[in-house]
Amino acid sequence: MAKEINTKEFKELVLKANKPVIVDFFATWCGPCRMLAPVLDDLAKDANGNFEVYKVDIDKDRDLAIEYGVMSIPTIIAFNGGKQINKHIGYATKDQLKKLVQ
């Protein structure tokens, strides 16, 4: 299951992570975000410790969304070594999301 994190947790869990991380920037009122949620949960189950999957609610953590240039949701950003390595805007399949961290 993709865990929802906040700004405080972001630095530790994403920027200091020793493996790739996928972060879904979403909002509870967003239809495509709700469609993507089960795909992300499935992806998190398949990660097998190779990468992590987190979610950030842009209404609760607006500063993070602004910092990473999130203009549309869902926006999925892949990080590795504390740096943004890939970005996808809109709905995506599990295979498309896996490619973000490969």
Q: Which residues are catalytic?
A: 30, 33
Which is it for strands 3-4 and 21-26: parallel, antiparallel or unpaired?
unpaired
